[in-house]
Amino acid sequence: MMEIQSQPTNLTKEDVIKLIADFQQNQCDEAQERLVDHYKNLVHSIAYRYSKGGPMHEDIIQVGMLGLLGAIRRYDYSIGNAFEPFAIPTIVGEIKKYLRDKTWGIHVPRRIKDLGGKIKLAIEELTDHLQRSPKIIEIADHLGLSEEEVLEIMDAKNNYRVSSLDDVVENSSDGSSVVRIESVGEVEQGYEETERRLVLKDIFNVLNDTEKSVIHYIFGENLNQKDTGERLGISQMHVSRIKRQAISKLKQAAFLDT
């Protein structure tokens, strides 16, 4: 088990949100620099998971930093939720895309090719019928697949980076729409949201049912801790404690190579 570098403690959650707001509203370089300094150990720890200290380590750190900067630019501070659950999948996704670009010529399994083609055709048929981009669940129902299988094929397509699947589409963060990847190496917002969803799905396995529910209500449905407690039949203080514990587990899951 690798040693996890501790997070700097000079910024509170509220400080982080204020700095992000200052950067997004005023393009404040000082705010961005403070955020990067605060989260640099987080980036280094995640980078080590993929580099194991090898020759690509410094490159992966730089890519992780780009992911952090992207998260700072896109984070919706108005909601008031913690930044880390948004930042970690964004950083991991950026690193994974970089590593895929290094290995895009791997042979694509027949199953990926076949289902990728069927998904592409289903998108075209459903778009014509619905006069809009279909939802992931609509694609799945059309093909007799589960949503997880559709997402798996989309993710596998991006893992192999092969031109025959360049037109397979990705879902937005809520699964309500899809966007095309026009060319190898082009990263669309929809792809980034799918990547984040898949990464979160993997690391959420470390949480127990109550922790998953708390994270879902607070970060998924934007409920406050009081309303979350009422949903679960527990006190607001208990919700706060479970949330802190769950976020800590998610950080560990993102850092550790399991």
pLDDT tens digits, one per residue of 111-151 = 777 787 888 888 888 888 887 778 888 888 999 988 878 88
Distances (CA, A) of 209 to 88, 206, 221: 21, 10, 16
Residue from 167, 185, 160 nearest 110 by CA: 160
- Say yes or no: 65 and 99 in one domain: yes
Mean pLDDT of the chain: 75
The CATH number assigned to the domain holding 95 equals 1.20.120
Q: CATH number for the domain including 139? A: 1.10.10.10
Better-scored residue on pLDDT, 91 or 190: 91
Q: Mean pLDDT: which of 133-137, 215-219, 229-233 is highest?
A: 229-233
Within-domain flag for 231: yes
Tens digit of pLDDT for each residue in 86-116? 898 889 888 988 887 665 444 556 777 778 7
pLDDT value at position 205? 72
Are 202 and 172 within one domain? no
Is 80 exceeded by the pLDDT of residue 180?
no
Of 126, 154, 183, the one marking the end of a domain is 183
Q: Which of 183, 205, 234 is the last residue of a domain?
A: 183
Based on the domain organization, do 71 and 116 belong to the same domain? Answer: no
> Has residue 191 been placed in a domain?
no
Helix axes 189-203, 236-255, angle to 10 degrees: 100
Q: Are residues 124 and 176 in the same domain?
A: yes
CA angle 51, 92, 11 (to 5 degrees): 105
Does 174 lie in the same domain as 139?
Answer: yes
What confidence category does residue 19 fall into, taking pLDDT thresholds of 50, 70 and 90?
very high
**Cα distance between residue 106 and residue 123, in whole Å:** 26
Domain boundary among 126, 150, 183: 183
pLDDT tier, 203 (very low <50, low <70, confident <90, very high otherwise): low
**Containing structural domain, residue 232:** 13-104+197-255
- In-domain check, residue 27: yes
Give the pLDDT of residue 72. 95
Q: Do residues 204 and 175 both lie within one domain?
A: no
17 CB-near residues (< 8 Å, 6+ apart): 77, 80, 83
The total of structural domains in the chain comes to 2
Taking only the tens place, the pLDDT of each residue in 45-97 is 999 888 888 888 899 999 999 999 999 999 998 888 889 888 988 898 889 88
Q: Are 212 and 247 in contact (CB under 8 A)?
A: no
In a domain, 140, yes or no: yes
Residues 116 and 99 placed together within one structural domain of the fold: no
Residues 81 and 207 in one domain: yes
Cβ-based neighbour number of residue 111 at 10 Å: 10
